[in-house]
Amino acid sequence: MRIHRLASSQLLPAVALCGTIWLATQPAPVSGAQTIAVVSPQTVAAAIEGARQVLVSAYVLEPSSVVVEALERAGDDGSRAQVLLPGDPYDPSGFVGKTNAAVTAELHRHRINVFRSARALHLKAVVIAGAVYLDDTNFGDGPNQTIVADHDPADAHQVGAALTGAPTSSAHLQTTKAAALQAEAALLLQARGPVAVESESFGWRNPVYDALLDRVRRGASVQLIVAQREVEASRYERKDLERLASVGVQVRISFSDEKMAIAGRSAWVGSANATRGVPEQLDWGLTTTDPSLSASLAARFARTWAQARPLAETPSKGD
């Protein structure tokens, strides 16, 4: 099959993105011990520069970020790097469209193809041979993000397949919003003690909301962190949070916009917000019992919780 170079302004089904280029060159999925860890943007940048083929997806990419600059160097050095951005993002302020247009122009100058997905896209990943780097935000340079390095070739293949049109979910890795939230909720419902959740935005009528209600009604300690920006932007979101607080959920507001759930020695981390949203949207979620990763996520949550303010102490919209 011939690969066509498409203009970045074109919308195309994800399956047409680069399937022949990417999937045909990936190692077959193998079983074995999974090696996962939380890493920095600098680690991702080094992986990009050391790879011959790179597939990147994000909701929005900042032109001057460490990861984008690594992509530019990789393109200059002859690596085959391709970037997938959303074709029709939710963008009331215009920031996403403006920023993605700028980064697209910049990447084109470094011989990197940028494609727009016709499918709802919220999955943030860097896929190279045998590994995938998953970010709960958008590979920026700030501290409020969790990037998971997953060196399981089967997981890398699964994420690459999702981005090229064939999303699936395994026992521990999900690549759609619906599957990710179901896995997060399952972790919470199976917990035997306190649970903690962080989500950039939060709403009712989704599995995570229902799971938190279930846990608090059964007497468990439940902590929830939501990003201040999202609460301020929607009076409906605040009402949803106040409803949870009224039944005993401890709700705090933070400048952080990470997405995770902690339940004892197990954890979930992903890009999927705990909202109703678009079930088939490309998102990622990773459930883990890895002691190091679970402890790292729990420590990150604890730091954010300590700096966050109780919902009752934050002004509501219009105050």
Tens of pLDDT, residue by residue over 179-221, are 999 999 999 999 999 999 999 999 998 999 999 999 999 999 9
Predicted pLDDT at 118: 87
The listed CATH number (3.40.50.720, 3.30.460.10, 3.40.50.150, 3.30.870.10) that belongs to domain 175-313: 3.30.870.10
pLDDT at residue number 82 = 97
pLDDT value at residue 257: 86
Q: pTM for the whole thing? A: 0.89
For 101-143, the DSSP string reads HHHHHHHHTTT-EEEEESS-B---EEEETTEEEEESS-S-SSS
d(CA 59, CA 120): 10
Q: Which residues pair with 81 in a beta bridge?
A: 54
Q: Domain segments of the chain: what residues?
A: 11-168, 175-313
Instruction: Report how far residue 232's alpha carbon sits from residue 255's, in angstroms, rounded to the nearest whole number.
Output: 11
Which residue ranges of the chain lie beneath pLDDT 50?
1-33
175-313 matches 11-168 in CATH topology: yes
Write the pLDDT tens digit of every residue in 286-302. Answer: 999 999 999 999 999 99
The confidence score (pLDDT) of residue 315 equals 77
- Sheet strands side by side (includes 282-288): 173-176, 282-288, 266-270, 260-263, 195-199, 222-227, 250-254, 309-310
Contact 254, 227 (CB under 8 A): yes
Question: What pLDDT score was predicted for residue 318?
Answer: 54
Strand partners, 11: 116
Q: Which residues contact residue 93 at a Cβ distance below 8 angstroms, ignoring those fewer than 6 apart?
A: none
Position 317 scores a pLDDT of 63
CATH fold of 11-168 reads Endonuclease; Chain A (3.30.870)
